[in-house]
Chain A
């Protein structure tokens, strides 16, 4: 009895726990746990700190590294955020693990259980990362498109919301056809996908005036002029003027700066000054 230690469900330990014998954690531990015996963390158990012991059986939550000199077993319902290492590592279906998992020691048992652990661990870890990578790319354009709209009420009338979906749809299909396929076949799909909603906003260039209003309220009209010439310059082929709305979608985000810099007001001022001189 004296060897077995229990941290009850209603107990919180904030500090380090170490020593000999086995330990069962049904409550909370805010600190490192290091014992020579087995460690059992119950379903309601929570540990914020590194846990080391002979055989770790986790059913609760752990934020920290797990080190088992004999084994680390994650039971269904376990949630571990931290590295896991031990000669035997088992992650049961229904257990969540995020971190580096390493099996070491005896190759025979480790080889048998290592793949299963890796298979279970990776699918859990991957879904977490991909959404983060995928989300930003589609999210970024709509955010840019949406952001300017609040500044310019007339842009809302043009239909800012329809502009957002075509932005998402257009980039992926439009990029391959334009590059790989001849302009003729590419034209119809592009027109079908984006022309009506995308064309007007592209010509009107809603984001440009909106940003221009934020930076400099007066000069929107002069800036509209430079944007139009810039678009054809970027797209050398004259007949592909309709493609420009497709490609500009990405450049639009990058271009705003250039129009601002040339604000042409500088050039005009210089010319005027020279003319005056």
Chain B
């Protein structure tokens, strides 16, 4: 079970910081910082800069992403923003717009 779960109907306006896994199914506007994995579910709408160990996007994300390990955009996922990560994958059917920097 993830440390932090933002449910589908929930909206957070502000910053989230922590040292555990964060799963988002709801809405987030602000900034997200963690030292663990971040998962953006299919129903999530995130307008935030995200910093974490890894990021998996199945929903919509608008913002810059910095991941120490990897970033994966799942099919149906949508990411608009610059990505800075050692590994970066875009699944077939995903949409992405932004710069990529894999020299971490």
| Residues of A bordering B, CB below 8 Å | 1-23, 27, 30-31, 35-36
Contact = CB atoms under 8 A, between A and B. Distances in A.
B3 to A, nearest CB: 3
B19 A13 contact: no
B18 A20 contact: no
Contacts of A7: 4
Given A14-B14, A15-B12, A15-B15, A5 B7 contact: yes
Given A5-B26, A6-B5, A19-B26, A11 B18 contact: yes
A21 B10 contact: yes
Contacts of B14: 13-17, 30-31
Contact of A10 (B9, B18, B43): B18
Chain B interface SS verdict (over half): strand
Nearest 5 Cβ contacts at the A-B interface: A15-B14, A20-B9, A8-B3, A11-B18, A5-B7
Contacts of B4: 6-8, 10-11, 27
B15 A14 contact: yes
B22 interface: yes
B75 interface: no
A30 B14 CA distance: 9
A72 to B, nearest CB: 20
Interface residues on B, range: 20 to 34
B41 interface: yes
Given A2-B43, A10-B19, A11-B18, A17 B3 contact: no
A3 B15 contact: no
Interface string B66-89: 000000000000000000000000
A8 B15 contact: no
Contact of A19 (B5, B11, B16, B18): B11
Contact of A13 (B16, B25, B41): B16
Contacts of B21: 8
B12 A17 contact: yes
Centre residue among B10, B14, B16, B43 by max chain A CB count within 10 A = B10
Contacts of B30: 15
B6 A11 contact: no
A12 B8 contact: no
A16 B7 CA distance: 14
A140 to B, nearest CB: 46
B2 interface: yes
B17 interface: yes
